Amino acid sequence: MATTWIKALHKGGGSIAAVLDLRLEYAKDPDKTNDGKLIDSYECDPYTAQSEFLFSKRLYEQKTGRNQGRNDVLAYHIRMSFKPGEVTAEKALDLGRELALHWTKNKHQFIVAAHTNTNNPHVHIIYNSVNLDCTGKFQDFKRSAIALRRVSDLICLEHGLSVIEKPGLSKGHNRHEYLGIEKPPSIRDQLRDLMDSVLPACKSFDEFLAAMETAGVEIKRGKQLAFKLPGGKKFSRQDTLGDDYSIEAILERISGKRVVAPKQKLVVPIAPKNFNLLIDIQEKMQQGYGEGFRHWATIRNLKDMAKTLIYLQDNGIDNYDDLSKIVDDSKELYNTLSGKTKANSNRMKEIAELQVQISNYSRTLEVYRGYRDSKWSKEYYRAHEGDIILHKAAKNHFDSLGLKKLPTMKMLRQEYATLAAENKKLYPEQKQAREKMIDLLMAKQNADTILGIKADEQNRDASHERQRKNSYEHDAR
């Protein structure tokens, strides 16, 4: 899985050069980058990036006259980590460069370095806040970390790598839990474990201290004892180790008045695996086999697959039955709105036609009465044929509608205006419902094909959607 975060580097109270140098040198650390072989850059030399960043900032100030002082954002730092064993350091470097190019839209200098000092490959990206032509700066925005994660997830999925299924669930977890790797014991944990191991053989507090020193622990005496592990950098006071490790507690443990049960590593039971749509799709993406997958891959590509998975994640859909229900609900909503707007449109057409016929009827009424009074004279008919035909057509139209009494033109105009206003309100909702329905249908169709299920049903859905699309576009015209 890939985990990604972004941090703005401010000037603060230090110099611009010092801030940039600190982060850039950390990223380029030869001990972590295979002697610099795992470093890449864009529009700058990685070994002169600090000077180039500084030069661009001076040009920016000259061109724009802007200087934000200590609040100035000098650069941005992105860290992208991968699941242990999933990518090589070289692959991580390539993915980091791809992320940087996507995120900065090729408009900012950056360096990218892959680090190998941990068991999970990760990259550091430092990009200049000033753009390449030195006329503007990167515009950070609210929830940019979420947007960055989305870009990172898309890139990883396109390369067949896993992503965190529900990033929101990681809140409150430390980095090791987030990556699914075992957290190394802290200094205090190591001291407590060492004390637990030597105490059973001690008969006095002095023997306990001697045993700790024999184990290589340095002891500093004062108001509180402090201990430093062999090769450690700092002392840890005894009163910070917990209730079972104070002087009084140690004496009680030696005398047998206090018994401390040996610590056992907490084992979290693994829940039975439920059918999870997102996990199953990721597994299929990484396996890359199966007839359904191969057929699907010939007409689409990993980018479509990645977008499908991201869409399901963003909408919190992780169960196939839920997806099917949401698809059905979206079709029902669209059909309801579409049916309503179509009914309104049809009624508006009827009103428009009725207004024409009423107008024709009223305008030709006297001519028709004259025709009737002439005892249906052929000469009168020939003289007023056009008006008589219009009048008869209007009367036939009224009869086809079953009208016994004609509505007034004012009533028809009011009804037409009401229907037009309702459709004006419904059309945006209908458009939004249609777009959501299409997105869901495509997501379900892709999921069906990837998982190799319900091929007949997805074909029917696609056919019906094409028919609805054609009908919708015809109505729009």
Least confident of 30-34, 184-188, 237-241: 184-188
What is the per-residue pLDDT for 471?
A: 55
**CA–CA separation, 159 and 248 (whole Å):** 58
Report DSSP state, residue 289.
-
Q: Is the pLDDT of residue 348 over 70?
A: yes
401-406 mean pLDDT: 90
What is the per-residue pLDDT for 280?
A: 56
Share of the chain above pLDDT 90, in %: 37
What is the per-residue pLDDT for 84?
A: 82
Amino acid at 28: K
What is the per-residue pLDDT for 211?
A: 87
10: confidence class by pLDDT, cuts 50, 70, 90: confident
The structure's pTM equals 0.47
Mean pLDDT of the chain: 80
Q: Is the pLDDT of residue 166 over 80?
A: no
394-404 mean pLDDT: 92
**CA–CA separation, 144 and 138 (whole Å):** 12
Alpha-helical regions (H) of 109-215: 144-158, 175-179, 187-198, 205-214
More confident residue, 36 or 293: 36
Q: For residue 24, count other CB atoms closer than 10 A to its CB.
A: 21
131-145 mean pLDDT: 85
What is the per-residue pLDDT for 358?
A: 94
Is 202 within 8 Å of 254 (Cβ atoms)?
A: yes
What is the per-residue pLDDT for 385?
A: 94
Q: Is the pLDDT of residue 126 over 50?
A: yes
Least confident of 12-16, 151-155, 397-401, 470-474: 470-474
More confident residue, 264 or 327: 327
93-98: which pairs have CB atoms within 8 A and are 24 or more residues apart? Answer: 93/38, 93/39, 93/40, 93/123, 95/2, 95/123, 95/155, 95/156, 95/159, 95/161, 96/40, 96/123, 96/124, 96/125, 97/40, 97/42, 98/155
Least confident of 45-59, 142-156, 196-210, 221-235: 142-156
What is the per-residue pLDDT for 171?
A: 42
406-424 mean pLDDT: 94
What is the per-residue pLDDT for 97?
A: 94
191-213 mean pLDDT: 88
**CA–CA separation, 52 and 91 (whole Å):** 27
Q: Is the pLDDT of residue 177 over 60?
A: no
Determine which helix (DSSP H) or strand (DSSP E) holds 405, and give its type and residue range: none
What is the per-residue pLDDT for 303?
A: 62
Q: Is the pLDDT of residue 271 over 50?
A: no
**CA–CA separation, 339 and 349 (whole Å):** 15
Spatial CA neighbour of 227 closest among 252, 250, 201, 204: 250
What is the per-residue pLDDT for 1?
A: 45
132: confidence class by pLDDT, cuts 50, 70, 90: very high
178-182 mean pLDDT: 46
What is the per-residue pLDDT for 452?
A: 65
What is the per-residue pLDDT for 174?
A: 46
Least confident of 258-262, 299-303, 355-359: 299-303
**CA–CA separation, 104 and 83 (whole Å):** 24
Helices 320-373, 455-476: inter-axial angle, 10-degree rounding: 30
Q: Is the pLDDT of residue 273 over 90?
A: no
For 90-121, how does the pLDDT look when each residue is reduced to its tens digit (9 = 90+)? Answer: 999 999 999 999 999 999 999 999 999 888 78
Amino acid at 117: N
Q: Which CATH number applies to 3-164: 1.20.1050.10, 3.40.50.720, 3.30.930.30, 1.10.10.10?
A: 3.30.930.30
